[in-house]
Every structure is written in C-alpha cells, then in structure tokens.
Homo-oligomer: A and B are copies of this chain.
Amino acid sequence: MIRISAADTIDVRFPTSQQLDGSDAMNPDPDYSVAYLTLSTDAGDDLVGAGFVFTIGRGNDLAAAAVQTVADLIVGESVEELLSDLGATYRRFVHDSQLRWLGPEKGVIHMAIGAVVNALWDLKAKRAGLPLWQLVSSMTPAEIVDLVDFRYLSDALTPGEALEILERAEPGRADRTAHLLAHGYPAYTTTPGWLGYSDEKMLRLAREAVADGFTQLKLKVGGNLEDDIRRLALARAELGPSIKIAVDANQRWDVPEAIAWVRELQPYDLAWIEEPTSPDDLVGHATIRKALGSTPVATGEHIANRVMFKQLLQLGAIDVMQIDAARVAGVNENIANLLLAAKFGVRVCPHAGGVGLCEAVQHLSMIDYVAVSGTTENRYLEFVDHLHEHFVDPVRIVDGHYVAPTAPGAGTEMTADSLVHYRHDGRYGHGGD
C-alpha cells in the first residue's frame, strides 16, 4: 500500500512591498507570501502534492502551522483511500469538531484545510497524468456531486439540483475541452491598476495590456476620490469606450460611502465595482447593488465559505462571483461555489494574482466552462503579471487568454530554487514514520 510519507510546510515570503506591486486602499504594503505544503508518498515515483495558503506577510507562519496541523492528520495514511474519495477526505477535515471550533469554516484553519485539499488534488491529477481541470471534467456528474459538502446549502441547492446542472452540461464537454485547448480562457488584467503606481506608469501598462490583447482591465480605487476620478478619466480617454474597466475598492468603504463614491465614478462606465465594503456584509452588498443600478457588484476573494456565497446569491447582492483558489476549503468547496453560481445564473470571474493564485484558479474556471456553466460569456479570469516564475508550470497568456494548461497537476507546485531562496525564518513539518 502506498502511503503519504511526509507533509512539509514552508513559510515562503516575497518582499513585494518594496515595489508597491499589490498596493491598494486597504493593503498599502503587502509582502506576498505562501504557507506552502508538500505531500510526499512512498510510491517511489517522485510525484508530490503541492498546495498553499496565500497571505500578505505577517502571520504567514500561523497559516503554515495550521496547514501542518491539518496535513499531519493524513501522514501515514493510504494514498489510494484518500484520493479515491476526495469528497469524504475533505468533509473529514471540515467536520473535525475540535478544529471546527477555530472557525467554524473560516479564517486560518479553513484556508489551511484548503491548502491540504488542493495538495491532494494536485497529487491525484499528477498520478492520473492530467491537468486538474481535465481530471475533474472527466468525472461523472454523480462523482462531482459527491465532492460537495451540502451541509447548510439545501435551502438553495440540493444534490439533485446540482446533478441536473452537471448533466445538462455533459453533452458539450468534449467540444468545450477542444475549444479551451485551441483558444484558452478569456482574461482581464490588474497589472496596470495598483494604487501605488504613478499615472504615467498606469497608462503605459494599460496601453501595453490592450496591445497584448486584453479587453478588460481593473484599477484600484478607494484611497482618494479625486485621484480615482482623475485616474479613471485618464484611463477611459486613453482606452476609448470599447475596453472594459473594472474598479476595486478592497473593502475600503461603509455602505453609504460606497454608494456615494461609486456614483462619482459611474460616468466612466464601470465593468464592475469590486469589494465595495466588508466581505462579511452580505446585506450591505445587496443595498449597494440596489442603489447603484446599472453598475455590476462583484466580490468573493475574502468570502469565507460556500454558506456566505449562498446568501450573496439569495439576497441578489452580486452580479459577479469572484472565487479564490486559496480562501475557502479548496477545490471541493469551490465546486460548490460554481454550482451555486450556475443555479442562480451569476457569472464567475475568479480572483487571482498574489502568489500562485492564477496558476491554481485557472483550473476552476475551466472546470466551470467544461462541466458546470458551459459558458465563458462575459466571464474573465483575473491576471496579474508577477511571481509566475516561481512555479513549475507558470500560466501562459496569449492574446488576452489563459492558455489551457496541459501538464499533469493542479498548477500549485513551486520550483525548488524559489523555495530555497524565499524561505522565511520558520519551518514547520516533519516526515512520517
């Protein structure tokens, strides 16, 4: 029997605050970091499962300790048993009653479960010789339904309804897979829009983005209203009416302030307003969306779990669901989120950037297209052009589209060099017996 022989979590930090890459109204000086997990086996084939929690610096050691705590639960266990029923494996982590108290289903412990779940998916995909998106897209609708934890969802989505959604998409899977392999998945870019950039740098990067084939880009807002208006006016004048411009406030406002501020920006034709207020304020998002009328409301990168997404949909609070690969409890919970979005007819435009979030979340959008919603209409995957070189299989963008990855795995494995070079102080973990 092949076993998980070791789980090693490393605290990896990049000094991004020095360049103001990633600067926004709430996060002036992020140091992009990952609590990075490697699951090894005694199969003798050198395949490892990689997963991570993404943070922005301080506290990354806490995330690493939490990942190690969860991963330790499976060291020594049968790889076959863990991977053959990843629905059960995931639910076992989330339902551990003592660990659950630390959330429940939110924050450090929940993200840590996500890292372990994603590492198991990475291992499963590598062992199957498939990229994650193709692995999941080759499962039957019933097998996919079984990945989900329907606890707390049944008033909005039942297993039967999920099965119907997946069965409806089944006939077109082969065509859409071929389309993805030929054309990729549409992307938008946030690279030009960081708050710490000068107008000149922003405009130069925006021009370059359009030249590179992007049809939507995103600017950070919420620091200072006059600056926001000036930057938006400059960008709109430069790009013309056909390029979409989304704006992102990173939770900066209270509800009344969000409504008043965004009204001042609406003349520049916003593709969406992202994170106008606290991610916990579901009712607030509904109020803002109603008040703003035509401007779509987007959130999700800090939405803690599927129960919160469910309510955003029930309340009619969002037009765009922005799933994140490393915030919830991994691939399994994000499949629940995709199914919820499909049920409510809301488009999914994932959050990415950070460290490895592009590499990880592209698989989820492709699963959504092939096996769930069956469409890319008005959907865009976020792209930010930094730190990709630290991954074994970095994302590739061609003509404003993510090229569908073909390498086996979930895209989450980092290069050995990067792990050595950017390892922070602490190290957690130990081998199995």
Q: Which residues of A contact B (CB under 8 A)?
A: 26-31, 55-59, 61-63, 65-66, 69, 96-111, 150-155, 251, 254-257, 277-284, 287, 302, 304-305, 307-308, 310-311, 314-315
Contact = CB atoms under 8 A, between A and B. Distances in A.
Contacts of A55: 98, 101-102
B280 A56 contact: no
Contact of A107 (B65, B102, B281, B314): B102
A98 B278 contact: no
8 contacts: A26-B97, A27-B98, A29-B97, A61-B65, A104-B251, A104-B280, A106-B107, A108-B108
Given A58-B99, A108-B108, A150-B254, 7 more contacts: A57-B101, A62-B62, A62-B66, A63-B102, A106-B106, A152-B278, A284-B311
A156 B311 CA distance: 19
Given A66-B62, A307-B281, A56 B302 contact: no
B98 A103 contact: no
Given A108-B107, A108-B109, A102 B155 contact: no
Given A66-B108, A69-B62, A108-B62, A304 B283 contact: no
Contacts of A107: 102-103, 106-110, 304
Contacts of A28: 97
A217 B98 CA distance: 25
A166 to B, nearest CB: 21
A423 B324 CA distance: 38
A225 to B, nearest CB: 17
A335 to B, nearest CB: 19
Contact of A59 (B109, B151, B278): B109
5 A-B pairs with least C-beta separation: A107-B107, A58-B98, A155-B255, A57-B98, A108-B108
Given A30-B97, A55-B101, A152 B281 contact: yes
A306 to B, nearest CB: 9
Contacts of A111: 102
B59 A69 contact: yes
Contacts of A96: 58
Contact of A302 (B59, B65, B104): B104
Contacts of A110: 107
A294 to B, nearest CB: 22
Given A106-B107, A109-B59, A314-B283, A154 B99 contact: no
Contacts of A97: 26-30, 56
Contacts of A65: 61-62, 65
A62 B152 CA distance: 26
Nearest to A58: B98
Contacts of A310: 281, 283
Given A101-B56, A154-B255, A282 B279 contact: no
A69 to B, nearest CB: 6
Contacts of A57: 98, 101
Q: Give the one of A98, A103, A151 with max B CB within 10 A.
A: A98
